[in-house]
C-alpha cells in the first residue's frame, strides 16, 4: 500500500511455528496448545517441558504474549515457589483466581506481572511426567473455576500427554528448544475472510480520530493517515517498529507498561503523552487475542510539563525497556530467596543466563588474594581447572582487574579480548564476555562472568541492567557464604553432640534419625541415645530441649551426657532423671527439657519407662497392632529440684517395636497433639513393614515434606528379636563362620 493514507503491514518476525523445519512433535504440540487456548478461552498459553536430570522446567512454546514478557520464566527450577513448579511437584492443578491471590501465594511472580489475571497450571502426566500446561485469563475471569472448566483443563492435559507419549513411542520425543517458540496470532485465532479488509481500512480512514494497530509483540501493523499525522511520523517509518523505539517521546517505560497491561489483562487501557514540544495526545488501547487497536486523539495543552525533560532528569543513555525492568525485579526477588552459594549459582545459570542469552558462567569468590571458582556452566573441566585459583593481579583474564577496580568489563568479540589478554579466548573458547565485579559496601566479594558462544554486542541499556544485577548478586552471594559457614558450623556441632553410632546387643535391632527444622540454623535441642548397661540390658533415651539455636544444642549435650553417665552407673530409671533434673536446676539454663528414659531387659522382655513431660511412646506388636503406652509424666527437667518421676513397667514382646519420638513428628499448627498421637498409632497398624528402618522411613513420610516442617524430629526405634543360639560352650557342634566385624557370631 502507499506510504500515505491507510497503511498496514503483516506481522514481521514471528517464528514459523508450523514450518516443515520443526520436528513433528513440536508442530503437534504447538497446534494442540493453540487449540486448547481457543477451547478454554485462555488469552495466554504455554507448555513447560520437565528436564528430570536437571530438576528444571524449560519453556517450550508460548502464545498470546510477547516473548520478552515470558523471558523471566523461560526456565523455572522445580524447587522455586511458582505455580508451574508446584503443579509438577504436587502433580495436581494449581489455580490462582486473581492478582490478590497471586500476591499472597506467589509474591515473586506477582512482582513481575502486576496485572489482573487468573491462572491455571496443570501437570501433563502420561507414561512419564512430561511437564506442565500453563493457561492465563484476563482479570474479568471469575476467581473460581467451574466443574466443567476443570474437566476441560484435565482433558487438555490428557491430550497433550497422549501426543507426547506417541511421539516418544515413535522414537521422536519432544526436545527442549534453545529458545521458546512463540505462537503467532494466526495460529491462535483462526483467520477471518480477507475480502472486507479494504472496506475496514476505508472505514477507519473516515473516522475523525487517528488509529493504529499493534500485534502481540507490540509492533505497528497498521496506521491511518490521521494517526500518523498526530504521531508526527511517516506511516512507512512506523510500520513494523515498536512505538516506544520509533517515537522517542514514547520511550518512557510507563508507556510500554500500559501496552503490557492491555496484553495481559485484555482490558482497555488509556494514557496521555506529550508529543514534543507541547502536543498532548490521548491514547486508548483495545486488546484482543490478535493484537491491540489504538485510538489516538488530541488532548489539548494541559500544562503537564515541558519537553524535553529538565537536564538533571535525563539519563546518559536510552531508558531501559519495561520488560527489562520487570525482569530485573523478578531476578532481584529470586535472589532474595536464595539460601546457600549453590542456590545462587543455580539461579544465575537457570534464569539470569537465559535472560541475557549467555551460554557460559563462571562465578568466583575472592579468597586470600585469589579467585576461587564456586560454580560454573558451559565450560569444559580443563578450562575451569586452568582458571581456578588465579591471583587477583592476574594478567591472564580481566577478572582480577575488574574486581580490583570495581568497574565491569565487556568484550563483544574475541579480537577485543585478544588485544589485551591474548590467551583468554583460547582457554575459554568463548566469543564474548561480561565481567561483573561483585562488590558489597566497597568490599570485593567475587566476580560473575557471563560468556557467549558467538560475538555479542552489549548495548548501553543491557550494560546498565547487568551492572545493577551484579550488585544484587553480590549481596546474595555474600549472604549465602555466611549462611553456608553457619550451616557447616551448626551441622558439625549437631553431629558432635549426637551419638556417632549406637551400641549393639544380641537380640536387639535399632533405628534412629535426627532431622533438623527447615528454618533457622538447622540445629536444635532434640536428641536420642542408646546406653549398654550390661549383657542383657540397654537404655533407650530421647529428649527435647526448648529452642532451635546453639544454646539449645549446648544444653542438649549436657543433658545427654548426664543421662548417659547415670545410666552407665546402673542407676534406677527414676534416679537417672531425678539426678539429671537436679543438675539442670543448678545450671539454671533458662530452658526446659523433656525426656523419656526406657530401661529394657532383653532377656526377660521387660521395660521400665519414666518420663519428664515427654510425649508417650508407641508400641507396635508383631501382628501389626499398635498402641500408645500410658506413661505418667513427671515435671520437665530443670524446673523443680525435688521433682519425682514415676516408673512404668510393661512387657516387651518379641518382634515388637518400641517407638520413641519428639513432638516434631506429630505436632502441627491447629492440631491437638493428643489426637495426632492417636492418629499416628492408627496409621502404624495399617503398615505392613516390620523392620525398624522401614518403619522409620514410613514415620518420616507421615510427618510430611521437609519444606513444611517447622520443628526438629528425633526418632529412636527399638525392636527385641530372638537371640541367635550361643554355641560357644559346645565346641563339638559345627559353627558357621562369623561374618566380618562380628567375631562372636552374635548377629544382630
Q: What is the pLDDT of residue 615?
A: 94
Residue boundaries of the structural domains of the chain: 24-183, 338-489, 505-720
Flag whether pLDDT at 722 surpasses 90: no
Flag whether pLDDT at 19 surpasses 80: no
Least confident of 92-101, 128-137, 243-252, 434-443: 243-252
Flag whether pLDDT at 242 surpasses 70: yes
Percentage of residues of the chain with pLDDT beyond 90: 33
What is the pairing mode between strands 713-720 and 508-515? antiparallel
Q: What is the pLDDT of residue 189?
A: 62
What is d(CA 375, CA 396) in angstroms, rounded to the nearest whole number?
19
Least confident of 49-63, 511-525, 584-598: 511-525
**pTM (2 d.p.):** 0.55
State whether residue 249 is helix, strand or coil.
Answer: helix
Residue ranges with strand state E in 318-442: 360-367, 370-377, 390-391, 409-411, 432-440
Q: What is the pLDDT of residue 643?
A: 92
Q: What is the pLDDT of residue 187?
A: 65
The CATH architecture one would assign to domain 24-183 is 2-Layer Sandwich (3.30)
Read out DSSP for 444-468? Answer: EEEEEEEEESS-----HHHHHHHHH
What is d(CA 17, CA 180) in angstroms, rounded to the nearest whole number?
10
Which sign, positive or negative, has the C-alpha torsion 568, 574, 579, 584?
Answer: positive
Read out DSSP for 516-555? Answer: --SSTTS--SEEEEEEE-SSSEEEEEEEEESSSSHHHHHH
Percentage of residues of the chain with pLDDT beyond 70: 85
Tens digit of each residue's pLDDT (9 = 90 or more) over 416-440: 998 888 888 888 889 999 999 999 8
**pLDDT classification of 739: cutoffs 50, 70, 90:** very low
- Can you tell me the mean pLDDT for 398-421? 90
Identical fold for domains 24-183 and 338-489, yes or no, is yes
- Can you tell me the mean pLDDT for 571-596? 91
Q: What is the pLDDT of residue 590?
A: 80
Are the C-beta atoms of 583 and 562 separated by less than 8 Å? Answer: yes
Q: What is the pLDDT of residue 540?
A: 95
Q: What is the pLDDT of residue 325?
A: 62
Tens digit of each residue's pLDDT (9 = 90 or more) over 491-536: 777 777 788 788 888 889 999 998 876 554 456 678 899 999 988 8
- Can you tell me the mean pLDDT for 608-619? 95
What is the pairing mode between strands 279-287 and 633-634? unpaired
What is the pairing mode between strands 292-298 and 210-214? antiparallel
Task: Decide which of 153 and 339 is more confident.
Answer: 153
Flag whether pLDDT at 201 surpasses 70: yes
**Is the CATH number of domain 505-720 3.60.40.10?**
yes
The distance from CA 584 to its chain's CA centroid, rounded to whole angstroms, is: 42
Flag whether pLDDT at 738 surpasses 50: no
Q: What is the pLDDT of residue 733?
A: 37
Which grid coordinates belong to 229? 499525522
Residue ranges with strand state E in 181-321: 181-183, 210-214, 220-223, 269-275, 279-287, 292-298
**pLDDT classification of 223: cutoffs 50, 70, 90:** very high
Tens digit of each residue's pLDDT (9 = 90 or more) over 666-720: 887 667 888 899 999 998 888 877 789 999 999 988 887 665 666 788 999 999 9
- Can you tell me the mean pLDDT for 204-231? 88
Flag whether pLDDT at 14 surpasses 50: no
**pLDDT classification of 395: cutoffs 50, 70, 90:** confident
Tens digit of each residue's pLDDT (9 = 90 or more) over 166-179: 999 988 888 888 78
Query: CATH code for 338-489?
Result: 3.30.450.40
Q: Is the backbone peptide bond immediately before 657 cis, with ω within 30 degrees of 0?
A: no
Reference 514, options 683, 241, 696; nearest CA is 696
Q: What is the pLDDT of residue 691?
A: 85
What is d(CA 586, CA 641) in angstroms, rounded to the nearest whole number?
8
Flag whether pLDDT at 328 surpasses 80: no
Amino acid at each position: 500500500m502507499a506510504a500515505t493514507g491507510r497503511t498496514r503491514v503483516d506481522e514481521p518476525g514471528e517464528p514459523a511455528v508450523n514450518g516443515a523445519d520443526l520436528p513433528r512433535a513440536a508442530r503437534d504440540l504447538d497446534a494442540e496448545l493453540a487449540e486448547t487456548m481457543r477451547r478454554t478461552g485462555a488469552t495466554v498459553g504455554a507448555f513447560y517441558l520437565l528436564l528430570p536430570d536437571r530438576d528444571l522446567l524449560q519453556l517450550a512454546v508460548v502464545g498470546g504474549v510477547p516473548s520478552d514478557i515470558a523471558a523471566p520464566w523461560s526456565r523455572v527450577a522445580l524447587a522455586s515457589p511458582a505455580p508451574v513448579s508446584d503443579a509438577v511437584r504436587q502433580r495436581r492443578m494449581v489455580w490462582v483466581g486473581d492478582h490478590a491471590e497471586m500476591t499472597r501465594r506467589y509474591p515473586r511472580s506477582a512482582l513481575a506481572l502486576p496485572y489482573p489475571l487468573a491462572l491455571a497450571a496443570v501437570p501433563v502426566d502420561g507414561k512419564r511426567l512430561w511437564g506442565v500446561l500453563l493457561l492465563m485469563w484476563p482479570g474479568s475471569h471469575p476467581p473460581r473455576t467451574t466443574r466443567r472448566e476443570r474437566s476441560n483443563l484435565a482433558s487438555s492435559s490428557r491430550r497433550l500427554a497422549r501426543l507426547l507419549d506417541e511421539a516418544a513411542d515413535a522414537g521422536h520425543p519432544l526436545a527442549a528448544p534453545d529458545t521458546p517458540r512463540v505462537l503467532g496470532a494466526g495460529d491462535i485465532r483462526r483467520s477471518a475472510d480477507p475480502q472486507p479488509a479494504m472496506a475496514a481500512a476505508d472505514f477507519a480512514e473516515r473516522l475523525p480520530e487517528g488509529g493504529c494497530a499493534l500485534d502481540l509483540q507490540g509492533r505497528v501493523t497498521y496506521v491511518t493517515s490521521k494517526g500518523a499525522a498526530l504521531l508526527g511520523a511517516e506511516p512507512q517509518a512506523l510500520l513494523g517498529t515498536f512505538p516506544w523505539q520509533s517515537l522517542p517521546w514514547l520511550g518512557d517505560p510507563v508507556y510500554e507498561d500500559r501496552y503490557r497491561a492491555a496484553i495481559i489483562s485484555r482490558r482497555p487501557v488509556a494514557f496521555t503523552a506529550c508529543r514534543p514540544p507541547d502536543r498532548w495526545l490521548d491514547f486508548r488501547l483495545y486488546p484482543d487475542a490478535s493484537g491491540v487497536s489504538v485510538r489516538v486523539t488530541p488532548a489539548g495543552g494541559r500544562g503537564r510539563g515541558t519537553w524535553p525533560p529538565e537536564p538533571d532528569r535525563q539519563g546518559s543513555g536510552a531508558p531501559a525497556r519495561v520488560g527489562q525492568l520487570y525482569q530485573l525485579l523478578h531476578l532481584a526477588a529470586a535472589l532474595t530467596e536464595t539460601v546457600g552459594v549453590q542456590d545462587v549459582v543455580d539461579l544465575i545459570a537457570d534464569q539470569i543466563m537465559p535472560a541475557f542469552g549467555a551460554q557460559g558462567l563462571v562465578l568466583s569468590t575472592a579468597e586470600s588474594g585469589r579467585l576461587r571458582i564456586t560454580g560454573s556452566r558451559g565450560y569444559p573441566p580443563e578450562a575451569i581447572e586452568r582458571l581456578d585459583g588465579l591471583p587477583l593481579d592476574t594478567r591472564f583474564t580481566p577478572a582480577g582487574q575488574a574486581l580490583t577496580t570495581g568497574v565491569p568489563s565487556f568484550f563483544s568479540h574475541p579480537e577485543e579480548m585478544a588485544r589485551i589478554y591474548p590467551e583468554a579466548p583460547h582457554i575459554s573458547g568463548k566469543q564474548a564476555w561480561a565481567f561483573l565485579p561483585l562488590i558489597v559496601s566497597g568490599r570485593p566479594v567475587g566476580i560473575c562472568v557471563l560468556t557467549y558462544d558467538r560475538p555479542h554486542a552489549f548495548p548501553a541499556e543491557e550494560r546498565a541492567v547487568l551492572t545493577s544485577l551484579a550488585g544484587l548478586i553480590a549481596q546474595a552471594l555474600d549472604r549465602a557464604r555466611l549462611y553456608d559457614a553457619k550451616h557447616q558450623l551448626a551441622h558439625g556441632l549437631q553431629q558432635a553432640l549426637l551419638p556417632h553410632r549406637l551400641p549393639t546387643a544380641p537380640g536387639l535391632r535399632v533405628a534412629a534419625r535426627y532431622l533438623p527444622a527447615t528454618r533457622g540454623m538447622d540445629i536444635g535441642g532434640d536428641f536420642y541415645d542408646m546406653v549398654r548397661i550390661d549383657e542383657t540390658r540397654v537404655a533407650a533415651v530421647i529428649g527435647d530441649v526448648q529452642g532451635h539455636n546453639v544454646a539449645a544444642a549446648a544444653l542438649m549435650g549436657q543433658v545427654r551426657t548426664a543421662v548417659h553417665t547415670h545410666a552407665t552407673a546402673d542407676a534406677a530409671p527414676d534416679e537417672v532423671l531425678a539426678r539429671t533434673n537436679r543438675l539442670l536446676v543448678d545450671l539454671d539454663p533458662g530452658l526446659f527439657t523433656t525426656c523419656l528414659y526406657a530401661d529394657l531387659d532383653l532377656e526377660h522382655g521387660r521395660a521400665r519407662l519414666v518420663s519428664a513431660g515427654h510425649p508417650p511412646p508407641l508400641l507396635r506388636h508383631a501382628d501389626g497392632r499398635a498402641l500408645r503406652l500410658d506413661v505418667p509424666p513427671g515435671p520437665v527437667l530443670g524446673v523443680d529440684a525435688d521433682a519425682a518421676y514415676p516408673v512404668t513397667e510393661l512387657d516387651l514382646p518379641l518382634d515388637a517395636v518400641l517407638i520413641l519420638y519428639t513432638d516434631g513428628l506429630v505436632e502441627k499448627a491447629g492440631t491437638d497433639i493428643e489426637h495426632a498421637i492417636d492418629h499416628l498409632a492408627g496409621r502404624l497398624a495399617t503398615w505392613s513393614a516390620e523392620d525398624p528402618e522401614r518403619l522409620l522411613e514410613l514415620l518420616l513420610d507421615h510427618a510430611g515434606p521437609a519444606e513444611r516442617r517447622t520443628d526438629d524430629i528425633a526418632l529412636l526405634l527399638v525392636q527385641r528379636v530372638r537371640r541367635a543360639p550361643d554355641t560357644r560352650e559346645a565346641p563339638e557342634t559345627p559353627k558357621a563362620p562369623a561374618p566380618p566385624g562380628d567375631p562372636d557370631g552374635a548377629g544382630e
